[in-house]
Structures are given as structure tokens and as C-alpha cells.
Amino acid sequence: MLKKFGLIAATLSATLAISVTTTTAHDGATGIVKERMESMEHVAGTMKLLSKMASGEVAFDGKTASLATKEVAKNMSTFPKQFPEGSDKHPSEAGPAIWTNNAEFVAIAKQLEGAATKATKTLAGASDNSVVAGVLGDMGKTCKACHSKFRVKR
């Protein structure tokens, strides 16, 4: 158990160290809005980690990458529930289409959950960074699809 915690801590440390996300975008966020923003920070950090592994900028570590994508899948399993009516006020970046086209929003979150689950299995068995680009592409397409339809940059 302690070993598993150490790996998770190392994964989160690596993800946060690579992430250039600032907390200023979240100033004033509380409750469920803050919770979902933190979920998205983790997804962004994981994407940056994978990108750096794919390019060789960071040494490939299948366990770390796999644990990070596993957390993305876990986050996405509950993500659609983090958008109750009325939670679109500043500093939220949630667009109105989340509520007017919720079925598509939920479907895209499920797609990312599936892509992250597949990535977790793929990365756990990988011995080098040659598989990272494919995993990154699958997850990235889903992220882009959601952001283009459901995110409002404030």
C-alpha cells in the first residue's frame, strides 16, 4: 500500500511539475466549480506529461504515465455530475451548451474516460515512448472536441 502511494505521489508530482497551469484562473472558485477545475488541471497536466514523454523531453516511465491516465479515467467517470444548473458563473469556463446539449457533453466525457482507460492499459505494458503519441492523439482529440463545444474562455 505504501509503495502504491509512493507511485501515485510521484505521478502527481511529475504531472504538477510539468504543468504550467496557474491558479490565478481559479481565483474565487469554490465548491463544485473548483472541484471540476482541479479535475481539468489534472487532465491538462497528464496531457503535458504524455507530450513531453512522446517527444523525449522527459524520460518514458510507463508506470507513471499509466497511473496518470488511470486518474484521468477516474475523474471523467464523475465529471459530468460536476455541472449542476447555475454553476456557469465566473470563474467557471463552462459554456451553456453543457446544459442545452448535455447528452453530447456526457458522451464526450465517456469517450475521454474510455480513451484514458485504454491508454492506462497500453502504457502499463509499454517499454518505450513509441506508443505515447497514439495514446496522446486519442485523448487529445476528445479534449479538443469538448473544449470547442462546451468551454467558454473567460
Q: Domains in the chain and their CATH numbers?
A: 2-150 (1.20.120.10)
Over range 127-145, report the average pLDDT: 93
Q: Is the pLDDT of residue 88 over 50?
A: yes
Residue 76 CA: distances (Å) to CA of 22, 28, 54, 108? 22, 23, 23, 10
Q: What are phi and psi of 10, to 5 degrees?
A: -65, -40
Q: What pLDDT does 2 receive?
A: 42
Q: What is the pLDDT of residues 89-132, one digit of tens each?
A: 999 999 999 999 999 999 999 999 999 999 999 999 999 999 99
pTM of the model: 0.82
Characterise 56 by phi-psi region: left (phi > 0), alpha (psi -120 to 50), beta (else). Answer: left
Judge contact between 139 and 112, C-beta under 8 A.
yes
Q: For the chain, how far is it from start to end, CA to CA, in angstroms?
A: 42
Please name the residues in contact with 148: beta carbons below 8 A apart, sequence gap of 6 or more: none
Q: What is the pLDDT of residues 34-57, one digit of tens each?
A: 999 999 999 999 999 999 999 999
Q: Is the pLDDT of residue 136 over 90?
A: yes
